[in-house]
Chain A
Amino acid sequence: MDTFDQSRVGAKKPRRDAPHGDSLTPLSSALPANATQWVSVWRRNYLVWKKLAIPSMIGNLADPMIYLFGLGLGLGLMVGRVEGVSYIAFLAAGTVASSVMMSASFESMYSGFSRMHVQRTWEAIMHTPLTLGDIVLGEVIWAASKSLLSGVAIMLVAGALGYASFPSMLLALPVIVLTGLAFASTAMIVTALAPSYDFFMFYQTLALTPMLLLSGVFFPVAQLPALARHLTQALPLYHAVELIRPAMLGRPLDGFALHTGVLIAYAVVPFFACAWLFRRRMMK
């Protein structure tokens, strides 16, 4: 019914006082209707994924594994020990966090956009008792679930090879879930604004790639100049790494409340922002 009009992105907001002005549906229609309706959206995505699970997992895991072993072993030869452990053990936690970031973001953006815009799957679901909010919540939790799978797979490989300590690495599991939710929900904002697939490249090159380099994934944040170190505090990936690395290395954890709080904020605030944006886009 509704085709997306590129010129509407960033269009001026309608005047509130206009008689019978461009009216939006009640905000409640863009929020989850209850605590369970999202599950059928999650399940729909799961059933599609199940059909192609093996190639999908190989595709998702190949990239982080190549980084982990390529950089960890190759660069590790020159780097030696970092923060008291081998470079590959240092890198393992960063790889877990960054693969969760990538996997959740890509699912929210490319796959989410396919279902919303190209296949009109969301439109079909909006004709049922589900609300747009149920759909968005189902999509966010689905993207987080996929990213949990990549994070856990890398952690298990690292653990099996002795680069992560068991059982303390299990403490990273809830962090991986939270990190996935944070990135899935943030990337949904990009999806809500995207006129086409090309738009995602901006977020990838201007947000995700710099974040990857500034968050202590490949080298300790202490190596950064002071200004960059401050900037880093605002990045969700930094907080994810700060929580996952001590768990995987079996070390004491500092600043639990701060790191968790930032990740929760990145999961919750963008969720409401993207629900608001999707309502503007899909329910005009």
Chain B
Amino acid sequence: MAHPISRIADDQDGAPAIEFSEVRKQYGGKNVVDGLSFDVRPGECFGLLGPNGAGKTTTLKMLLGITSPGSGAIRLVGEPIPARARFARERVGVVPQFDNLDPDFTVRENLQVFGRYFGIRGARMDALVPSLLEFARLENKADARVGELSGGMKRRLTLARALVNDPDVLVMDEPTTGLDPQARHLIWERLRSLLARGKTILLTTHFMEEAERLCDRLCVIEEGRKIAEGRPHDLIASVIGSDVIEIFGPDPQALAAELEPFVERIEVSGETLFCYVDDPQPVHARVKGRDGVRYLHRPANLEDVFLRLTGREMVD
């Protein structure tokens, strides 16, 4: 039998796996998603980034046909949503934000029971289970109850469960939120192996590192609107385009005033000063060896982009 998590032919010029065009959704008169458009191409990992409440989860719910847009058009694996959502879901795997594994069942039973919802049963399911367990690195936990699993194991089981129907598209809502770093790295490694098999992934996240590592393209949304879209490195180059020196020390306001002439732009966030510099030397020279001041010179990253676009000072 072929590997149950199949490799998808390298056909990148097919129709988009996911299409959102001009999608709007209101709750109680407030626009939660406001004219959102994006496409996800087959085989791509696409990230939806945004602060809490930006409309990421609502976007995923609309995509899966769990809730309907007020206006606009959605397609998932070519099917119009919500009209043919249940047919689209036959080819999609979902990893929700909160674990909803069945606590009454063992690891193996969770996979078997879920397979039934896709019409997979009997010998076909029995053949599938070992490879799903292997993929999730849960071979030794097949007969453990869900309650005995660690957070990382539960996530991996949820991921394995989302693969029972060998989906073309995986939809993941904050796949590594709440996991410790080791567990997070293992999930990332597993997701990369799915991408290598040609699967399409749409994920939401507010971990910039996750987005930078995994996503081919991403879309930053705020208050239901797209405020930027592109490849992570293109976004960093176009939105920031310089190195960053972070300076931690007393009286950042005074220091900001002093450094202002030598930087492209400067921002104060709490106790930290962010200097965007094309030429770092003048700033280095002025902060080096100063009492109580530490600094870090680094290339710009996605977090800088995100914070530039959504504001350094979080309004929570």
Q: Does A40 contact B (CB under 8 A)?
A: yes
B173 touches A129 (CB 8 A): no
A33 touches B86 (CB 8 A): yes
**CB within 8 A of A29: which of B71, B82, B116?**
B82
Contacts of B96 on A, CB cut-off 8 Å?
Answer: 1, 120, 123-124, 127
A120 touches B98 (CB 8 A): yes
Question: How far is A33 from B90 in the complex, measured between Cα atoms in Å?
Answer: 13
Given that A26-B82, A29-B82 are contacting pairs, would A129 and B98 also be in contact in the complex, using a CB cutoff of 8 Å? no
Contacts of B109 on A, CB cut-off 8 Å?
Answer: 47
A44 touches B113 (CB 8 A): yes
Stretch from A17-25, A171-179, A266-274 forming part of the interface with B: A17-25
> Smallest CB-CB separation from A15: which chain B residue?
B29
Contacts of A44 on B, CB cut-off 8 Å?
Answer: 102, 113, 116
Question: How far is A128 from B100 in the complex, measured between Cα atoms in Å?
Answer: 13
A38 to chain B, nearest CB (A): 11
B66 touches A25 (CB 8 A): yes
Stretch from B20-28, B43-51, B256-264 forming part of the interface with A: B20-28
Question: How far is A120 from B117 in the complex, measured between Cα atoms in Å?
Answer: 16
A254 to chain B, nearest CB (A): 45
> Smallest CB-CB separation from A39: which chain B residue?
B116
B100 touches A20 (CB 8 A): no
**CB within 8 A of B105: which of A2, A14, A43, A47?**
A47
A1 touches B98 (CB 8 A): yes
**CB within 8 A of B29: which of A18, A24, A26, A43?**
A18
A25 touches B102 (CB 8 A): no
B117 touches A130 (CB 8 A): yes
Given that A2-B61, A119-B100, A119-B103 are contacting pairs, would A126 and B66 also be in contact in the complex, using a CB cutoff of 8 Å? yes
Q: List CB contacts (< 8 Å) of A96-148 with chain B.
A: 119-121, 123-131
Q: Does A16 contact B (CB under 8 A)?
A: no
B68 touches A1 (CB 8 A): no
Contacts of A26 on B, CB cut-off 8 Å?
Answer: 68, 82-83
Interface size class of B (residues with CB under 8 A): 35 or more
Question: How far is A19 from B96 in the complex, measured between Cα atoms in Å?
Answer: 30
Question: How far is A263 from B94 in the complex, measured between Cα atoms in Å?
Answer: 40
A281 to chain B, nearest CB (A): 11
Q: Does B55 contact A (CB under 8 A)?
A: no
A48 touches B118 (CB 8 A): no
Given that A44-B113, A129-B118 are contacting pairs, would A1 and B104 also be in contact in the complex, using a CB cutoff of 8 Å? no
Q: Does A283 contact B (CB under 8 A)?
A: yes
Given that A26-B68, A123-B96, A129-B87 are contacting pairs, would A20 and B26 also be in contact in the complex, using a CB cutoff of 8 Å? yes
B114 touches A1 (CB 8 A): no
Q: Does B226 contact A (CB under 8 A)?
A: no
Question: How far is A123 from B67 in the complex, measured between Cα atoms in Å?
Answer: 12
Question: How far is A18 from B46 in the complex, measured between Cα atoms in Å?
Answer: 33
A29 touches B117 (CB 8 A): no
A29 touches B114 (CB 8 A): no
Question: How far is A26 from B118 in the complex, measured between Cα atoms in Å?
Answer: 22
Chain A 38-53: CB-based contact to B (< 8 A → 1; otherwise 0): 0010011001100100
Q: List CB contacts (< 8 Å) of A46-74 with chain B.
A: 47-48, 51
Chain B 101-132: CB-based contact to A (< 8 A → 1; otherwise 0): 11111000100011011110000000000000
Chain B 142-172: CB-based contact to A (< 8 A → 1; otherwise 0): 0000000000000000000000010000000
B83 touches A23 (CB 8 A): no
Chain B 61-84: CB-based contact to A (< 8 A → 1; otherwise 0): 100111111110000000000110
Question: How far is A22 from B26 in the complex, measured between Cα atoms in Å?
Answer: 5
B100 touches A121 (CB 8 A): yes
B67 touches A284 (CB 8 A): yes
- Report, nearest first, the 3 A-B pairs whose CB atoms are least far apart: A20-B70, A120-B100, A128-B117
Q: Which A residues are closer than 8 A to B by beta carbons? A: 1-2, 14, 18-26, 29, 33, 40, 43-44, 47-48, 51, 119-121, 123-131, 282-284
Q: Which B residues are closer than 8 A to A by beta carbons? A: 24-29, 31, 57, 60-61, 64-71, 82-83, 85-87, 89-90, 92, 94, 96-98, 100-105, 109, 113-114, 116-119, 165, 173
22 of the cross-chain contacts (CB-CB < 8 Å) are A1-B97, A1-B98, A19-B70, A22-B27, A23-B26, A26-B82, A29-B65, A29-B85, A33-B86, A40-B113, A40-B116, A43-B113, A47-B105, A48-B105, A121-B100, A124-B96, A124-B102, A126-B66, A128-B114, A129-B89, A284-B27, A284-B67
